[in-house]
Structure 1
Amino acid sequence: MTLSVSTGQVIDLRVQPVDEVLGRIERSLQVHLVPGSLVRKRRSVGARTDRDTWVRIERRLLDKISDQGWNGTETAARLEGIAQPAWHGCVVWRDQDEPVMWRADETDLLPCEPVGNAILSKTPELPDDWWAALNASLDALAGQSTRRIATPDTETITQGLVAESIRGVLSGDVDTTIERWVPAHADLNWANMTSPAFSLFDWEDWGNAPLGLDSANLWASSLAVPTLADRVRHERRADFESRDGKVMTLFACSKILGPYAHPEDPRLDPARRMAERVIQELQTS
């Protein structure tokens, strides 16, 4: 491998060389990656192919791969009633030099561009039928069944993680017990959805999660634009009005307000205000 890092070190694929990795993927999938189409992120790399598909490549540490595996994009292909790119195939291998695995999934191209960055700073133009498609997909997802457990940020979500995250950041005695677990995308933000045609992609972390996780995540990524955050709460109000949805709102707030919070993050104040409001609601319900 051209990647030269110490054992187990978390690396940034935006700057690390990946030529040998791309070559192996082209040989394994019998496809050619289009020059100039490479999109590099911290944990993943993507590229268009000469057969008008997309290949997403991820490097993951072994201790970040649970017993259920990390074939989220593959297993999501069986889900019904959800607007997502069709999955075609994959190649997976263990690195010979490092305690990591590589995975490349080939899917259809996205129907159009992503809405924006994970966290938006201005209101996107989203027609009513886009919101209807979002709601239909999220409701269809929550109505299905799976043995997978969601792994947001590659960390398996559990009752203990929810309680620890909330109590470690927010004050106030609140019962954080989750009553209902349903299938969730687990990484719902504006960078993982397209517009004007709605499509939801990047399914590597999906699985059972507390009711309302997806809605809370999308709301949190909208907080810098108050009208957008309000629209998310309106569209997904059934989630936010539920007890589990309120706990997930606190979970999302704890991530914004936690030890890695940026002092200039415009979401800090609205997250604090919402956390105080939800804590009071849970204490009096």
Structure 2
Amino acid sequence: MRESFDGAGNSGYIIQPAATVASMAPSFSTVQDVDLRVQPVDEVLDRVARSLQTRFHEGTVVRKRRSVGAHTDRDTWVRIERRSLDKITDQGWNGTERAARLKGVAMPTWRQCVVWQDEDGPVMWRADETSLLPGAPVGSAVLSDAPDLPEEWWSGLNASLDALTGHQTGRVATPDTEAITQDLVTTSIRDVFSDGFDTTVRRWTPAHADLNWANMTAPVFSLFDWEDWGSAPQGLDSASLWAASLAVPALADRVRQERRHDFESRDGKLMTLFVCSKILGLHAHPQDPRREPARRMADQVVEGLQAG
């Protein structure tokens, strides 16, 4: 379950094709279908390099489904994202820039950005330049093997998440690029789980909204990719990280232990069901190894909520 990194290389970029990704290449019939792991991006990289007056080091380009990143010649990192206009809310599309004001949260320092609208369709591109990460990402978004994390890493995670929830923001979190609202929480839970309990969220706090193992570094803790952060139900980040850990039971248990004050809260229980709905719902992968542990935990949570 690791992200596939690939690309093509000239103008200072080395991107190596990945047959497993290319074999699953989607048709580009709609804006949402474009996958930057297989879509040509040389012109985009050239444009960003010119605009930011920098060059990208060869062999450092990392390609994901909707973003591309690279190491610059001034020892910074540039992350480029493509997003359709209908996925850009009224609050704008400057999450990484706005996150720069968050105190007490370990993250790269934001430097500058460039934004433009695509000439060929209702799409915008955004490139944010930040300081380099203090280490490599822990792994892929969803882990299948336990990472070797020092105790200081867990302390850093807790300190940053606790500091984040102490802030205030008018932004709305957009996990999976969709604004999280009370209606979304209720609909997501009701589509998968039985009735008989209230789904009303009581406490909304700032959240990263894309907390997974690919967006944190180790052995020094740092949290990056802030484009979707904003107000969300208490426990969204903790539940998201737990869900990304379910294929490694000991790791999932450690996440619940470290963030137990979130999971023990009523809103944290609702967020557990919210993330489980994505693993167990209609469009979930039938061979996802997280399905059984998610089902077991969801049953316990539902039973507890129904009991009041």
TM-score, normalised by the number of residues in structure 2 = 0.90
In 1: Cα distance, 2:40 partner to 2:285 partner: 29
Q: Which residue of 1 aligns with 2:9?
A: none
In 2: Cα distance, 1:243 partner to 1:111 partner: 35
Q: Match of 1:44, as an amino acid? A: S
Q: Determine if the alignment matches structure 1 residue 13 to structure 2 residue 13.
A: no
Q: Which residue of 1 aligns with 2:274?
A: 251
SS in 2 for 1:271: helix
In 1: Cα distance, 2:161 partner to 2:220 partner: 15
Structure 2: gaps of 5 or more residues: 1-26
Deviations 1:138-175 (A, max 9, x none): 00000001100000010000000000001101123221
Q: Which residue of 2 aligns with 1:61?
A: 84
Q: Match of 2:190, as an amino acid? A: R
Pairwise CA distance, 1:70: 1.1
Q: Is contact 1:184–1:208 with CA below 8 Å preserved after alignment?
A: yes
Pairwise CA distance, 1:7: 5.6
SS in 2 for 1:16: coil
Q: Which residue of 2 aligns with 1:160?
A: 183
Q: Determine if the alignment matches structure 1 residue 204 to structure 2 residue 192.
A: no
Pairwise CA distance, 1:261: 1.7
In 1: Cα distance, 2:169 partner to 2:46 partner: 34
Q: Match of 2:48, as an amino acid? A: I
Q: Which residue of 1 aligns with 2:283?
A: 260
Map 1:39-188 → 2, pairs under 5 A: 39-188=62-211
Q: Match of 2:246, as an amino acid? A: L
Q: Match of 1:277, as an amino acid? A: Q
- Residues 1:165 and 1:114: Cα distance change in structure 2 (over 3 Å): same
Q: Match of 1:104, as an amino acid? A: A
Pairwise CA distance, 1:8: 3.0
Instruction: Provide the alpha-carbon RMSD of the alignment.
Output: 1.1
Pairwise CA distance, 1:254: 0.3
Q: 1:27 aligns with which of 50, 58, 65?
A: 50
Q: How many residues align?
A: 282
Pairwise CA distance, 1:15: 0.6
Deviations 1:52-72 (A, max 9, x none): 100000000000000001100
Q: Match of 2:288, as an amino acid? A: D
Q: Which residue of 1 aligns with 2:237?
A: 214
In 1: Cα distance, 2:54 partner to 2:287 partner: 44
SS in 2 for 1:59: strand
- Residues 1:22 and 1:118: Cα distance change in structure 2 (over 3 Å): same
In 2: Cα distance, 1:230 partner to 1:7 partner: 40
Q: Match of 1:221, as an amino acid? A: A
Pairwise CA distance, 1:10: 2.5
Pairwise CA distance, 1:264: 1.6
Q: Match of 1:22, as an amino acid? A: L
Pairwise CA distance, 1:5: 4.8
In 1: Cα distance, 2:286 partner to 2:124 partner: 35
Q: Determine if the alignment matches structure 1 residue 223 to structure 2 residue 259.
A: no
Pairwise CA distance, 1:260: 1.9
Pairwise CA distance, 1:129: 1.2
Q: Which runs of 4+ in 1 moved over 4 A?
A: 4-7
Instruction: Select between 70-79 and 171-180 the one with higher mean Cα deviation.
Output: 171-180
Q: Which residue of 1 aligns with 2:258?
A: 235
Q: Which residue of 2 aligns with 1:276?
A: 299
Instruction: Select between 261-270 and 245-254 the one with higher mean Cα deviation.
Output: 261-270
Q: Is contact 1:120–1:224 with CA below 8 Å preserved after alignment?
A: yes
Q: Match of 1:136, as an amino acid? A: A
